[in-house]
Amino acid sequence: MATIRELFDLTGRVSVITGGSAGLGLQMARGLAEAGSHIVICARNAERCEQAAEGLRAIGVEVLAAGCDVSQLNEVEHLKDEVMARFGRVDVLINNAGRAWFAAPEEMPLDRWQYVIDLNVTGTFLCSQIFGREMIRRKRGKIINIASVSGLRGKDPSVHNSIAYNTTKGAVVNMTRDLAVKWAHHNILVNAIAPGFFLASRNRGRYEERKEHILGEIPLARPGGEDDLKGAAVYLASDASNFVTGTILSVDGGTTAW
């Protein structure tokens, strides 16, 4: 029987976090590093990844920083090769890379719609497929997809008017459930986190403009903070969740409770 500390301990494991150079991705990377995991962070801007990696190395774990556009098959394959050459394994994959484009549905440009689809859905699938093959070989792994409360319900356009983003996050929700069923016999557990509104540099302006509306959707009456996603990520990455697969964990201040 394991102790609770042992269940949450990630010492020696290898975790890949896409979109890990800033924001929620970096917060989750930090949480996993604090639990002992070695870290791979990737994003399209390799320089920003390396800057973020320095802070993670100070925690005392090994960190690989890599540039990667997760919507491109050859770049994801190259990332996987880098990870395997450096660590020889992958235990955890967090599919966090994603973007939104804000426009009314009747005005959404097709190229921006496709861009969001390619990054949020195709990127999540490609990373799951390519790193999943390594997990299948080892007969174990944890995949954590980053969905959104926007993928669970319709959104007030005055708060979040991005049908492309909302559509992709709904797709990620069901991709998570279906992949969990299909890979359960490989002992690969696939879950998703659905964050609510978290304050970040790229949405601060929107928050200031629509603060009353945004907080009006959140029973806790505040946005998510810099530590609020760590626990969920460590839980789903660790042995503490070894009988949990196909679930969507909302971290949203109660947004989906009403």
Q: From CA 136, how far away is CA 11, in angstroms rounded?
A: 21
pLDDT at 221: 96
Mean pLDDT, residues 40-48 taken together = 96
pLDDT at 155: 84
Report pLDDT digits (tens) over 95-131: 999 999 999 999 999 999 999 999 999 999 999 999 9
Residue 226 pLDDT level (bands cut at 50, 70, 90)? very high
pLDDT at residue 209 is higher than 90: no
Of the ranges 121-130, 155-164, 196-205, which is most confident? 121-130
pLDDT at residue 187 is higher than 80: yes
Domains of the chain: 4-251 (3.40.50.720)
The percentage of residues in the chain with a pLDDT greater than 90, rounded to a whole number, is 91
pLDDT at 156: 83
Burial category of 154 from C-beta neighbours within 10 Å (exposed 0-12, middle 13-18, buried 19 and up): exposed
pLDDT at 127: 98
pLDDT at residue 190 is higher than 80: yes
pLDDT at residue 200 is higher than 90: no
Give the active site residues: 165
H helices present in 68-122, as ranges: 73-87, 110-117
pLDDT at residue 158 is higher than 80: no
CA-nearest of 158, 151, 150, 139 to 211 is 158
pLDDT at residue 258 is higher than 90: no
pLDDT at residue 159 is higher than 80: no
Angle between helices 230-237 and 23-34 (to 10 degrees): 60
Residue 255 pLDDT level (bands cut at 50, 70, 90)? very high
CB 230 within 8 A of CB 176: no
The whole-chain average pLDDT of the chain stands at: 96
CA-nearest of 121, 142, 147, 126 to 229 is 147
Q: From CA 87, how far away is CA 71, in angstroms rounded?
A: 23
Mean pLDDT, residues 180-209 taken together = 93
Mean pLDDT, residues 160-186 taken together = 96
124, 63, 249, 245 alpha-carbon torsion, rounded to 10°? 70
Mean pLDDT, residues 139-147 taken together = 98
Report pLDDT digits (tens) over 9-33: 999 999 999 999 999 999 999 999 9
The percentage of residues in the chain with a pLDDT greater than 70, rounded to a whole number, is 100
What count of other Cβ atoms lies within 10 Å of the Cβ of residue 247?
15
